[in-house]
């Protein structure tokens, strides 16, 4: 296709060569259609025109060779899209796989309809964010795109020169497909059961039979409405008294290890948390609170007592469906956070910048200015634009001076001689800075400056000024344009997928800005938007980069809800004493190693461009720890011991065992587990491998067959990556 084509003749060519399909408007199917990248009829290469003339209405030139570079563009043609109003180029992500094994993401720069369900997609021929300064290599490459978590067909493209040989990689050939059982039956007997399973993996600590049946009867939206109003917590929080900073002689690790464990470690909170995750009916609230706790990080590494973090976790749970601005205020004055990031000791003569720095960098707006879709704003030299500088941190440090533990008589939970971590911090007026402050500057900024207090001559006047200044500062942050996309993307990463498309981020951020009732920061609306978005929904997702590694906490809770967690002897419910077993997997609940959490949201897998935060936990040691933990949990159970649990933990595999007993071939067991654990996406190759292992176990031992199958699936990458 080397001759120049008019816009009209190109359209006719596209229509004559390619077919396309869409879904009926009346079809309520949550599954989006898979995108199709149009290719040349005989070459097996992508159909494209060079430059951006096509999008400007100027005749384009068809090329077989394209020249990479940040100033060079090409136009691809895509069909089989069912776009929402306003859905544009940032919903499509274009990838280039090269012989080096590296995958680059190209920038989608424009989208224009051509003809019925055919779109022209303008693409910059350079990596979107740069790959350690590596340019695209010349030669034959593989190009494909993704949309709403679905991958297109893969085609070849020549960069810089024509010729060469490159094979389509396996991850593009062996994409998952939703399926029923081996003989074609759908074991669940209900359409979109895969989407329900995926929804429960995102909105809860794991699918359960009861939750699935409930959603099957009432639908996702009604279930969300129920969860927003569900009583919480379903299991009462442990009541732990506040203790002296130094353990008393009758509660030390040597004299009374049970007292020490319950008061001076996070064990009571950990046990409550896992019981709540396994059995609680307020799943969405607690799942959201866990996500918020990985943004607003405190840690048992520094915070000493379980009572301290129980009080902190209550704030996250209570505000999970409230307004983000209220959450900001509550956490700012929480003494656990105050101790963790040193606000309790910040005074006008010695202001501390830890909390001011982290509330900006990690909890609200991030280091660099963002577009509404979460992409970086860049200057003329293509460098990210900083959100703030050190002087802004210094000024916020002055705002946050003077607050400390509430230990006076009017504090409801004050105990003489013991720092009060339950009540909000109290202002000591003489310790608050009274000078003027210059805060965040942005278009139409709210409270960009705070004037000095000229008439603070009494403690009451100073207290009023300090409270007003604190609220002004929090509003200054809350109304910054970065906050909606920054927090929306973080929550999407926690609940759905590690590397969401900019379009997904923008749709959620728009809801953060305005919930439909002119209210900003409505977390209930934000969570609903995240979970019901078309990029989240669907029975199967095929995009290679879609999904998230199940962090150890969710790996455990997912299995403990799929196969109901029981005590070690199977006679009662577990008491939730599983946290210590998870340390070798790289995550101990309520002990994140730093304020950056167990993993930062921007973590890139080394030697790739893949944004996948949870993979920072995965290394040789933790990978072995995962398989060893799963083996112990599934085959032996987590036995009780004196310092960790009272009853131990095991999984109830009775249902799986019944399928194993019913069919000596093992096929019914694999069909059942494919639906239950994999929502019908188990690959034929992996199924065959697991079936071989199952058949190696005598059919007279259905319990061992069931354990073998669950273990091999649970330890597989296909299960451990939540898709």
The band of 703, judged by pLDDT with boundaries at 50, 70 and 90, is very high
Task: Say yes or no: 603 and 622 in one domain.
Answer: yes
> How much is the pLDDT for 7?
40
> How much is the pLDDT for 382?
85
Task: Say yes or no: 392 and 492 in one domain.
Answer: no
Which of the residue ranges 157-166, 315-324, 553-562 would you say has the lowest mean pLDDT?
157-166
475: its two tokens:
């509003």
Q: Which of 150, 173, 196 is the last residue of a domain?
A: 173
Tokens 């959620």 belong to residue = 508
Question: What are the backbone angles phi and psi of residue 147, rounded to the nearest 5°?
Answer: -150, 125
What length does the chain have? 723
Q: Is the pLDDT of residue 25 over 70?
A: no
Q: Contact at 8 Å (CB) between 309 and 269? A: yes
Q: Which of 467, 498, 532 is the last residue of a domain?
A: 532
Task: Say yes or no: 430 and 525 in one domain.
Answer: no
Q: What is the pLDDT of residues 228-268, one digit of tens each?
A: 999 999 999 999 999 999 999 999 999 999 899 999 999 99
Q: Which of 173, 194, 217 is the last residue of a domain?
A: 173
Q: Is the pLDDT of residue 180 over 60?
A: no
Instruction: Report the alpha-carbon distance of residue 521 to residue 402 in Å, rounded.
Output: 28
The band of 31, judged by pLDDT with boundaries at 50, 70 and 90, is confident
Q: Is 620 inside a domain boundary?
A: yes
The band of 177, judged by pLDDT with boundaries at 50, 70 and 90, is low
SS (H, E, C) 367-401: CECECCCCCECECCCCCECECCCHHHHHHHHHHCC
Q: What is the pLDDT of residues 203-212, one digit of tens each?
A: 999 999 999 9
Contacts of 391 (CB under 8 A, 6+ apart): 438
683 SS3 class: coil
- DSSP secondary-structure letter at 45? B
Which of the residue ranges 8-12, 239-243, 458-462 would you say has the lowest mean pLDDT?
8-12
Task: Say yes or no: 522 and 553 in one domain.
Answer: no
Task: Say yes or no: 470 and 501 in one domain.
Answer: no
Q: Contact at 8 Å (CB) between 576 and 273? A: yes
Q: What is the pLDDT of residues 601-650, one digit of tens each?
A: 999 999 888 999 999 999 999 999 999 999 999 999 998 876 555 678 99
SS (H, E, C) 299-366: CCCCCCCHHHHHHHHHHHHHCCCCEHHHHHHHHHCCHHHHHHCCHHHCECCECCCHHHHHHHHCCCCC
Instruction: Report the alpha-carbon distance of residue 715 to residue 723 in Å, rounded.
Output: 15
Element (H, E) at 13: helix 7-17
Task: Say yes or no: 475 and 494 in one domain.
Answer: no
Q: Is the pLDDT of residue 551 over 80?
A: yes
Strand partners, 438: 449
Q: Of 296, 320, 288, whose CA–CA distance to 496 is shortest?
A: 288
Half-sphere exposure of 578 (CA within 13 A, CB side): 34
Q: What is the pLDDT of residues 298-347, one digit of tens each?
A: 999 999 999 999 999 999 999 999 999 999 999 999 999 999 999 999 99
Which of the residue ranges 62-66, 104-108, 398-402, 514-518 would you say has the lowest mean pLDDT?
62-66
416: its two tokens:
């003489």
The band of 563, judged by pLDDT with boundaries at 50, 70 and 90, is very high
506 SS3 class: helix
Task: Say yes or no: 132 and 59 in one domain.
Answer: yes
The domain of 703 spans: 548-722
Q: Is 374 inside a domain boundary?
A: yes
> How much is the pLDDT for 189?
38
Task: Say yes or no: 663 and 696 in one domain.
Answer: yes
Q: Is 124 inside a domain boundary?
A: yes
> How much is the pLDDT for 642?
60
The band of 62, judged by pLDDT with boundaries at 50, 70 and 90, is low
Q: Is the pLDDT of residue 484 over 60?
A: yes
> How much is the pLDDT for 183?
32
Task: Say yes or no: 694 and 608 in one domain.
Answer: yes
Q: What is the pLDDT of residues 127-139, one digit of tens each?
A: 887 654 578 888 8
Task: Say yes or no: 475 and 505 in one domain.
Answer: no
Q: In the chain, what is the greatest distance between 2 CA atoms, to the nearest angstrom?
A: 89
> How much is the pLDDT for 115?
83
Instruction: Report the alpha-carbon distance of residue 67 to residue 139 in Å, rounded.
Output: 10
Q: Is 297 inside a domain boundary?
A: no
> How much is the pLDDT for 53?
58
Task: Say yes or no: 519 and 598 in one domain.
Answer: no
> How much is the pLDDT for 386?
98
Q: Is the pLDDT of residue 9 over 60?
A: no
Over residues 401-416, the mean pLDDT reads 94
Q: Is the pLDDT of residue 36 over 70?
A: yes
pTM of the model: 0.93
The band of 4, judged by pLDDT with boundaries at 50, 70 and 90, is very low
Question: What are the backbone angles phi and psi of residue 335, rounded to the nearest 5°?
Answer: -65, -25
> How much is the pLDDT for 370?
98
Question: 547-560: b or e for each residue (b if 16 or more CB lie within 10 Å)?
Answer: bbbbbbbbbbbbbb
Q: Is the pLDDT of residue 450 over 90?
A: yes
Task: Say yes or no: 495 and 452 in one domain.
Answer: no
Q: How many domains does the chain have?
A: 4
Q: Is 658 inside a domain boundary?
A: yes
Q: Is 329 inside a domain boundary?
A: no
Q: Is 643 inside a domain boundary?
A: yes
Q: Of 325, 236, 189, 312, whose CA–CA distance to 675 is shortest?
A: 189
Over residues 211-215, the mean pLDDT reads 95
Q: What is the pLDDT of residues 500-527, one digit of tens each?
A: 999 999 999 999 999 999 999 999 999 9
CATH of the domain at 49: 2.60.40.10
Q: Is 432 inside a domain boundary?
A: yes
The band of 163, judged by pLDDT with boundaries at 50, 70 and 90, is confident
Q: Contact at 8 Å (CB) between 453 and 434? A: yes
Percent of the chain with pLDDT over 70: 91
Q: Is the pLDDT of residue 445 over 50?
A: yes
> How much is the pLDDT for 621?
94
> How much is the pLDDT for 173?
84
Over residues 363-378, the mean pLDDT reads 97
Decide which of 4 and 51 is more confident.
Answer: 51
Instruction: Report the alpha-carbon distance of residue 637 to residue 565 in Å, rounded.
Output: 10
Percent of the chain with pLDDT over 90: 80
Helices 267-279 & 257-264, crossing angle to 10 degrees?
70
> How much is the pLDDT for 588?
96
Q: Is the pLDDT of residue 26 over 50?
A: no
Q: What is the pLDDT of residues 187-200, one digit of tens each?
A: 333 567 899 999 99
Q: Of 652, 649, 636, whose CA–CA distance to 577 is shortest?
A: 649
Q: Is the pLDDT of residue 226 over 70?
A: yes
Separation in Å, CA 324 to CA 393, 415, 487, 496, 681: 21, 31, 10, 20, 37
Element (H, E) at 136: none
């Amino acid at each position: 296709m080397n001759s120049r084509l008019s816009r009209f003749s190109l359209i006719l060519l596209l229509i004559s060569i390619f077919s396309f399909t869409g879904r009926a408007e009346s079809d309520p199917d949550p599954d989006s259609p898979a995108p199709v990248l149009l290719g040349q009829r005989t070459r097996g290469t992508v159909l494209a025109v060079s430059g951006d003339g096509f999008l400007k209405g100027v005749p384009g030139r068809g090329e077989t060779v394209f020249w990479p570079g940040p100033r060079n563009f090409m136009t691809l043609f895509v069909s089989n899209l069912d776009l929402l109003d306003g859905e544009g180029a940032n919903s499509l992500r274009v990838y280039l796989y090269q012989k080096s094994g590296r995958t680059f993401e190209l920038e989608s720069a424009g989208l224009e309809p051509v003809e019925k369900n055919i779109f022209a997609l303008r693409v910059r021929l350079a990596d979107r964010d740069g790959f350690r300064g590596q340019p695209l290599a010349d030669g034959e490459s593989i190009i494909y795109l993704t949309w709403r978590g679905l991958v297109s067909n893969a085609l070849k493209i020549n960069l810089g020169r024509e010729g060469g040989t490159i094979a389509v990689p396996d991850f593009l050939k062996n994409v998952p497909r939703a399926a029923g059982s081996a003989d074609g039956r759908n074991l669940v007997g209900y359409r979109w059961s895969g989407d329900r399973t995926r929804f429960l993996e995102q909105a809860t600590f794991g699918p359960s039979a009861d939750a699935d049946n409930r959603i099957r009867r009432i639908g996702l939206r009604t279930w969300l409405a129920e969860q927003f109003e569900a009583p919480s917590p379903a299991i009462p929080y442990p009541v732990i008294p506040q203790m002296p900073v130094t353990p008393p002689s009758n509660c030390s690790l040597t004299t009374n290890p049970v007292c020490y464990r319950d008061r001076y470690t996070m064990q009571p909170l950990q046990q409550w948390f896992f019981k709540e995750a396994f059995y609680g009916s307020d799943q969405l609230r607690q799942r959201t609170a866990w996500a918020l706790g990985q943004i607003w990080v405190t840690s048992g590494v520094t915070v000493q007592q379980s009572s301290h973090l129980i009080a902190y976790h209550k704030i996250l749970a209570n505000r999970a469906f409230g307004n983000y601005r209220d959450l900001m205020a509550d956490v700012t004055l929480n003494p656990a956070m105050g101790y963790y990031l040193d606000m309790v000791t910040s005074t006008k003569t010695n202001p501390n910048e830890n909390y001011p720095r982290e509330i900006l960098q990690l909890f609200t707006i991030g280091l660099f200015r963002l577009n509404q879709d979460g992409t970086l704003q860049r200057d003329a030299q293509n460098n990210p634009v900083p959100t703030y500088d050190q002087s802004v941190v210094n000024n916020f440090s002055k705002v946050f001076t003077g607050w400390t533990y509430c230990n006076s008589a009017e504090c409801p939970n004050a105990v003489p001689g013991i720092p009060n971590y339950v009540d909000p911090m109290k202002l000591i007026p003489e310790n608050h800075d009274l000078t003027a402050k210059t805060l965040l500057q942005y278009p139409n900024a709210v409270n960009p400056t705070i004037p000095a207090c000229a008439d603070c001559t009494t403690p009451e006047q100073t207290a009023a000024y300090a409270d007003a200044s604190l609220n002004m500062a929090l509003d200054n942050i809350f109304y910054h344009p970065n906050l909606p996309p920054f927090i929306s993307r973080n929550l999407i990463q926690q609940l759905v997928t590690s590397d969401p498309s900019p379009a997904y981020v923008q749709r959620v951020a728009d809801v953060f800005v305005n919930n439909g009732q002119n209210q900003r920061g409505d977390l209930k609306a934000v969570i609903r938007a995240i979970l019901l978005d078309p990029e989240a929904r669907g029975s199967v997702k095929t995009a290679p980069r879609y999904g998230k590694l199940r962090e150890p906490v969710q790996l455990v809770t997912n299995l403990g809800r799929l196969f109901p967690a029981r005590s070690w002897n199977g006679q009662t419910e577990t008491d939730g004493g599983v946290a210590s077993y998870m340390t070798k997997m790289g995550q101990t609940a309520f002990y994140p190693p730093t304020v950056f959490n167990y993993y930062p949201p921007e973590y890139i897998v080394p030697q790739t461009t893949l944004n996948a935060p949870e993979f920072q936990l995965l290394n040789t040691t933790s990978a072995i720890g995962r398989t060893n933990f799963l083996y112990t949990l599934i085959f032996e159970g987590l036995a009780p011991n004196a310092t960790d649990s009272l009853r131990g933990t095991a999984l109830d595999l009775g249902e799986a065992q019944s399928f194993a007993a019913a069919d000596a071939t093992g096929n019914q067991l694999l069909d059942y587990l494919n639906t239950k654990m994999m929502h019908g996406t188990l690959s034929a190759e992996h199924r065959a491998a697991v079936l071989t292992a199952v058949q190696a176990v005598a059919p007279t031992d259905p319990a061992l067959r069931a354990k073998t199958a669950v273990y091999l699936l649970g330890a597989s990458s296909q299960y451990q990556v939540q898709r």
